[in-house]
């Protein structure tokens, strides 16, 4: 895949979110809005009532029940795909074929066939396809990786991890669109 230098862009990336559910509202939207390098332009969600709640809450003028309209009707640079796991492949491939960069929530796909098609579409379009494995950027996990690579605990043969999160505290108990 070709190197694409997004760090030296002078204008903010215009981003659309496909699947504006609770995860997007509390992770992607704040991240986009806190960046000087990104601008939330459009959103999509299948349920009209929930889409309208999100549109009003976010004050976004472009909102679609069909993600295809989001891709085709806006001048976007990138999309976030945060749909149900089995529904990742189609919008990811379509966005890449439309010339957009894509950030897709984990997992990339539920089948290896779909994953290969998505990677091939990114390579053909020469666009960034990034999967939301965010823990790799967190200090704790970077330290663990470094210590393992430096042999601090010997040869790793198996890893079993359980992660618990207090989502009620994260969301403050509020109802979300």
Q: What is the pLDDT of residues 128-171, one digit of tens each?
A: 999 998 777 788 888 988 999 999 989 888 888 787 766 555 55
What pLDDT does 1 receive? 45
Side by side, the strands of the sheet bearing 129-131 are: 62-64, 38-44, 13-18, 78-81, 101-104, 129-131
Q: Are 58 and 43 in contact (CB under 8 A)?
A: yes
Place of tokens 């919008």: 91
**Which domains are delineated in the chain?**
13-135 (3.40.50.720)
What pLDDT does 176 receive? 46
pTM beyond 0.85: no
Q: How confident is the model at residue 57 (pLDDT cuts 50, 70, 90)?
A: very high
Question: Mutual orientation of helices 89-97 and 112-125 as an angle, nearest 10°?
Answer: 10
Q: Are 27 and 81 in contact (CB under 8 A)?
A: no
Instruction: Kindly report, residue by residue over 151-160, the tens digit of the pLDDT.
Output: 998 988 888 8
Token representation of residue 123: 């390579």
The region of weakest confidence among 2-6, 13-17, 141-145 is 2-6
What pLDDT does 177 receive? 44
Instruction: Kindly report, residue by residue over 82-125, the tens digit of the pLDDT.
Output: 999 999 999 999 999 999 999 999 999 999 999 999 999 999 99
């Amino acid at each position: 895949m070709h190197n694409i230098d997004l760090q030296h862009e002078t204008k903010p990336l215009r981003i659309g979110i496909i699947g504006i559910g609770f995860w997007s509202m509390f992770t992607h939207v704040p991240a986009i809005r806190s960046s000087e390098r990104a601008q939330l332009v459009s959103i999509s969600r299948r349920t009209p009532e929930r889409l309208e709640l999100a549109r009003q809450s976010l004050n976004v003028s472009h909102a679609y029940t069909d993600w295809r309209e989001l891709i085709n009707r806006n001048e976007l640079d990138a999309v976030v795909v945060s749909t149900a796991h089995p529904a990742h492949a189609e919008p990811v491939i379509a966005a890449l074929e439309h010339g957009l960069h894509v950030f897709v929530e984990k997992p990339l796909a539920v089948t290896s066939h779909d994953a290969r098609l998505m990677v091939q579409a990114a390579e053909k379009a020469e666009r960034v396809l990034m999967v939301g494995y965010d823990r790799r950027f967190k200090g704790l996990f970077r330290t663990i990786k470094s210590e393992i690579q430096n042999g601090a605990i010997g040869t790793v043969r198996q890893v079993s991890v359980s992660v618990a999160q207090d989502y009620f505290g994260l969301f403050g108990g509020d109802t979300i669109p």
